[in-house]
Structure 1
Amino acid sequence: MTSFAIASLQLDGEVIPSVVHDERVFDIRAALPAVARTADLFPDWDRNLDVLTAHLERGADPVGDAEALLADRAGRMLPPVQPVGPVLAAGANYREHIIQMSVAHGLGSDGASPETLRADAAAEIDERVRSGDPYIWTGLPSAVSGARDDVVLPDVGRDVDWELELGVYIGRAAHLVAADDALRHVAGYTIVNDLTVRSLVPRDDMAKIGTDWFRAKNQPGFFPTGPWLVPARFVPDPGVLTMRLRLNGQVMQDATSADLAFDIPALLSYASSMAVLQPGDLLITGSPAGNGSHWGRFLADGDVMEAEIAGLGTQRNAVRGPSGRLPPWQASR
């Protein structure tokens, strides 16, 4: 079977719904004229993929080489699904990551040693998987950016952290779905970097509510996504994908999706028990160990993040410093 990925490229101001095959870009509209944007593929997803496969196998003419197009035609790699939908984000869902964060932030008994914190965190996540629920929160479409876009550090908050995650695009509506049936609702997979302003997570003024994911994770550009969507038919087992994030060339995260606490079917079943998931929604599944909180090193002006997941491509995002101007709300306080 000819494998390919789905992408959205902005070239000379025009957004082209694209197929990427062997590093070459093909305009989807040459095979499917009614597809003006990639989300238009979802209503008849499987048939549309079959049409694109046949189109490629007949020897379709490419628009050009992906890297050359981005370099030579003022191109931009947009998030693969256009228009961008909401983000459903699983938190604390990689076993070793949970343990590392518990140690880094002292989440446990007062005065406990790192060894005790590790053991307690491991026991807690194992029990939650046996008898509890995933933790899922929501992100805004306006925070989703492209796989090559710069990340601009905010003027409010400090300690901006990286979180490489496996993204799952919903391909058909899902509500009250059983785990055994959940993967039938998946269109494909992508890479997401779920950036977090660590200092904005706690709410000391509202201790009973606790964490504030809205302000910590929904800053502009805080979900670099892509470069493309790889259809599920080309990903034999999303539960064993290798994942790696480098900061300025140094490996910071190096794991596999096998360390997920709640796997993809479980996450989809749980999320669909609470809400109706729609085509184009993006579920991100949690981040493995190796965040800045663990290393004691956070993002700074001039940094470059490179994130990759086996078979799903590579992101490269440069980091720019804050503007130096407080937003009006904070400036008035």
Structure 2
Amino acid sequence: MTFTPGLTAPYALARFRDGEAVRLGLVAGEQIHALGAEELGAESLNEFLAAPDWDRLERLVDTGGPWRSLNEVSLTAPVEPQQIVQTGANYRTHVIDLVAASMRKDDSRSETEIREAAARMMDERTATGEPYFFIGLPACVVGDDVPLELPAYSDQHDWELELTVVIGRGGFRITREDAMSHVAGYTICNDITTRDRVFREDSKGLGADWYRSKNAPGFLPTGPFLVPAHFVDTEDLGVVLNLNGSRMQDASTSDLLFDLPALISAASLNMPLNPGDLLLTGSPAGNGAHWGRLLRDGDVMEGSIEGLGTQTVRCIAEDAQKGTP
């Protein structure tokens, strides 16, 4: 994808460190203004997101103050979710690659025939199937101000950049037709995964172990901005991740198998969605397992989604003396 990384909306929300405290701020251009409860019209960010008054914030862009340069503050995760719902296997090309690779092992058909069969399977899944979800821990949400400490118990930590929905008005069993009215905005998440902990050697019949493989401290770098939904057209957003300057993921949200209304509706069937909750929409092809190159000490990931900004995550090795959980 070709796009200019950065925040393109006239304004957005962010959270930044102010000494020992974390404050909510209004971002416009290269500046940020600290928002108090009176200006926000709510006691907390999630209370605001339940019924966001964006016009109120837009007026502050012209009249609010004082403003500080973004370069003078340390941004952290822009959200404080109660729940995190994550979508698996939701980029058509990525899943076709995976299915074709698994079919190729014992199949006499040509590569083209195998991929055509895999594509038909994905089209059938989109038409008649349901999204696949798993749960993340809110404690894993951090900003890119926090280095990603790679646990010493594995050397197979991987990246998965994802467009992330920030829920506004909460709801239970939301219809597809009403789904987008429950979206407050969007942000960026990088769903870090420890590949050799996805499946257990001691209990192979139990399936994927998402708790162990995806929920270490700091495994969900988020932000840096929360961009209001009305500034974002999610139909064809570029999703790009560079590792040490080399392009690893490069895709468009137009390749999603299940669109946002389908995801929101399906995610709300089991449990009500709350203001501020995160819904990750899946990651495209190009993770480390694909390239045969997993994360190492000193790596720098730059993840950009068109219009939502760029997060820069620096990796450091955990002290091996900490032991194996």
TM-score (norm 1): 0.89
Name 2:62's counterpart in structure 1. 57
Q: Deviations over 1:8-55 (max 9, x none)?
A: 10122221211100110011228626545422312331x2x2111112
Match of 1:20 in 2: 27
2:14 maps to which residue?
7
Offset from partner CA, 1:186-242 (integer Å, 9 cap, x none):
00000010111111101232222211111100111111000010010111x212111
Deviation at 1:290, TM superposition (A): 0.9
What are the residue-to-residue correspondences of 1:14-163 with 2, within 5 Å?
Answer: 14-29=21-36, 32=39, 35-45=42-52, 47=53, 49-58=54-63, 60-67=64-71, 69-70=72-73, 75=74, 77-81=75-79, 83-102=80-99, 106-108=101-103, 110-112=105-107, 115=111, 118-163=115-160
5 Å matches for 1:218-297? 218-235=215-232, 237-297=233-293
- CA distance, structure 1, for counterparts of residue 243 and residue 127 of structure 2: 35
Q: Name the CA shift for 1:321/1:101 in 2 (closer, same or farther; >3 Å).
A: farther
Distance 2:121 2:269 in 1: 23
Secondary structure of 1:219's aligned partner: coil
Consecutive unaligned residues in structure 1, runs of 5 or more:
none
Structure 2 CA distance for aligned equivalents of residues 78 and 262 of structure 1 = 30
Per-residue CA deviations over 1:157-186 (Å, capped at 9, x if unaligned) read: 331111010000000112111111100000
d(CA) in 2 for partners of 1:118, 1:199: 27
Q: In structure 2, do the counterparts of structure 1 residues 109 and 245 end up closer, same or farther at CA, with 3 Å as the change threshold?
A: closer
Cα shift at 1:250: 0.5
Percent identity of paired positions between Structure 1 and Structure 2: 42
1:315 aligns with 2:320: no
Q: Give unmatched runs, 5+ long, in structure 2.
A: 1-8
The 4+ residue runs of structure 1 with deviation greater than 6 A are: none
What's the TM-score once normalised by structure 2's chain length? 0.91
* Structure 2 equivalent of residue 177 of structure 1: 174
Q: What CA distance in whole angstroms lies between the structure 2 residues aligned with 1:43 and 1:211?
A: 34
Please give the root-mean-square deviation of Cα atoms over the aligned residues, in Å.
Answer: 2.0
Q: Kindly indicate whether the alpha-carbon contact (under 8 Å) linking 2:83 and 2:278 is maintained by their aligned counterparts in 1.
A: yes
Q: Secondary structure of the residue that 2:184 maps to in structure 1?
A: strand
| CA displacement at 1:149 relative to structure 2 | 2.2
* Aligned CA distance change for structure 1 residues 33 and 313 (closer, same or farther; 3 Å): closer
Distance 1:285 1:259 in 2: 11
Larger RCO: Structure 1 or Structure 2 (Cα < 8 Å, ≥ 6 residues apart)?
2
CA offsets per residue over residues 47-101 of structure 1, 9 Å max, x none?
2x2111112223x22431112x13xxxx3x22112x3432100000001111333
Cα distance 1:19–1:6, how it changes in 2: closer, same or farther (>3 A)?
A: same
SS at match of 1:174: coil
